[in-house]
Amino acid sequence: MNTLRLVLASASPRRLELLGQAGVQFEVDPAHIPEQREENEKPADYARRLAEEKARAVAARHCGKYVLGADTIVVADEHVLEKPIDYADAERMLRMLSAREHEVTTAVSLVGPDGKIETRTSTTRVRFRKLSDSEIRNYVATNEPMDKAGAYAIQGGAAGFADRMEGEYSNVVGLPLQLVTEMLRKAGLISS
């Protein structure tokens, strides 16, 4: 019998690793929902809606458990940079982020066994140094950016791209641990 009380509504290896670092046991059941921004939807509202939809979709399959959903977006001048559709798109995004600041926002939703939902967000400001065209092409050629919002992994090959960061590093990786552990403690899923 499965006695785990928390389900992570994500298959992201980064989220699995980060949540594991929080010291809580959980099972994984990805939501597989369409991720499409609605017309005139503000970036933070988009992330919140997706996190809630993921959590609710998975909660419907796991009666009596808590479900954690999350969505991370990268925003530069109100442009939401999703996962790139191809190499050219990844290169375009990285050129857009070069020598400038952008925001990484992660919305986290926790649905309880009673169906109540709490959604919170964490935003980190990141500034990239000037990236050369060859750096961008070489990084994209590694294929690492292809499944990442904003076309980069701060914990991977793009580790040297940021010259300044204000906010939680784990948020840029994909799950703001400080915020998540606070929510899980409040729910009684981990101890202080």
The domain ranges of the chain are 6-186
Give domain 6-186's CATH architecture. Answer: Alpha-Beta Complex (3.90)
* Neighbour-count burial for 33-56, b at 16+ CB within 10 Å, e otherwise: eeeebeeeeebbebbbbbbbbbbb
Percent of the chain with pLDDT over 70: 98
Residue of 71, 114, 147, 163 marked active site:
71
Active site residue 71: yes
CB 64, CB 114: distance < 8 Å: no
pLDDT tens figures, 54-85: 999 999 999 999 999 999 999 998 899 999 99
The answer to whether the predicted template modeling score (pTM) of the entire model surpasses 0.85 is: yes
